Amino acid sequence: MSKNLTKHNFLVSRNQREKVSGHPGKVIWFTGLSASGKSTIANALDLELNKRGLRTYILDGDNVRMGLNKDLGFSPESRKENIRRISEVAKLFADSGTIVMTAFISPYKKDRESAREVIDSDYVEVFVNTPVEECINRDPKGLYKKAIAGEIKGFTGIDAPYEEPLNPEINLENLSIEKSVEILINYLKQQCIIK
């Protein structure tokens, strides 16, 4: 990092932004295998929070890789950089008074720990705990089929590891979308993030 950088302080504080939002900024970090339901649950939660008039946004793995992170591949180094970048972006969203949901496989424990360090107390880890067999059966993009056939190398859950979270704030173990959203809403209420 350049030594010629200076952090700029803004005239509008985070507290002022959150007052306008009517709620604190938070990062709800969905992690799990491909086809586990991360994006689907994040979208359903986003819709429910939007109906309640809350300021939200989703940072989805595929969408971010089509723009901000289109220069990254899927090597362990690229995956690490992908998570590093999105951690910084998610932190900015939280600082703006937004409840941001991130839907990334984020397979490595160390990278999720780094995200937690960057985002700090705003980080809420949600493990979408769907067995790989169920993910293979769903396979909406046909990626597991290609990985099993050897057409995709380094695919998480097939020939690349997924390190399960040991202590996520929320463990959604193969639940319906509706039940998952209910659990998430109850958690956000209990933590006084939403009313």
Query: Cα separation of 69 and 60, whole Å?
Result: 11
Assigned domain for 5 exists: no
Cβ atoms 169, 163 nearer than 8 A: no
Q: What kind and span of H or E run contains 79? A: helix 76-95
* Annotation says 106 is catalytic: yes
User: Would 2 be classed as within a structural domain?
Assistant: no
14 in a domain, yes or no? Answer: no
133 pLDDT more than 90: yes
Confidence grade of residue 5 (pLDDT, cut at 50, 70, 90): confident
Identify whether 11 is part of a domain.
Answer: no
Mean pLDDT across 88-108: 97
Asked if residue 71 lies in contact with residue 29, where contact means CB atoms within 8 angstroms, the answer is: no
Contacts 24+ apart (CB under 8 A), 56-59: 56/98, 56/99, 56/100, 56/101, 57/93, 57/98, 57/99, 57/100, 57/101, 58/100, 58/101, 58/102, 58/103, 59/86, 59/89, 59/90, 59/93, 59/100, 59/101, 59/102, 59/103, 59/104
Q: What is the pLDDT of residue 185?
A: 98
0.95 exceeded by pTM: no
**Residue 22's pLDDT band (cuts 50, 70, 90):** very high
Q: Is position 10 within any domain? A: no
Quick one: what percent of the chain has pLDDT higher than 70? 99
Burial class (CB in 10 A: 0-12, 13-18, 19+), 84: middle
- Catalytic residue, chosen from 106, 114, 121, 176, is 106
pLDDT of residue 121: 96
Report if residue 108 sits inside a domain: yes
What pLDDT is attached to residue 6?
A: 85
Q: Is residue 39 part of a domain?
A: yes
Left if phi > 0, otherwise alpha if psi is -120 to 50, otherwise beta: which for 28? beta
State percent of the chain over pLDDT 90. Answer: 90
Q: What is the domain count for the chain?
A: 1
Q: Are 127 and 164 in contact (CB under 8 A)?
A: yes
Q: Which domain covers residue 168, as residue numbers?
A: 22-190
Q: Mean pLDDT across the stretch 96-107?
A: 97
Structure tokens at 19: 């007052």
Domain with 76 in it: what CATH number?
3.40.50.300
Per DSSP (E only), the strands in the chain are: 26-31, 56-60, 99-103, 123-129, 170-173
Mean pLDDT on 119-126: 98
Q: Judge whether residue 1 has pLDDT over 70.
A: no
- Look at residue 4 in the predicted model and tell me its pLDDT: 84
Nearest to 30 by CA among 151, 128, 162, 108: 128
What pLDDT does residue 65 have?
A: 92
- Mean pLDDT on 17-30: 95
pLDDT mean over 39-67:
96
d(CA 59, CA 103): 6
Task: Report pLDDT for 174.
Answer: 84
What CA–CA distance (Å, rounded) separates 195 from 187? 11
* DSSP percent split of the chain into helix, strand, coil, nearest 5: 45, 15, 40
Q: Is 104 domain-assigned?
A: yes
The pLDDT of residue 8 is: 85
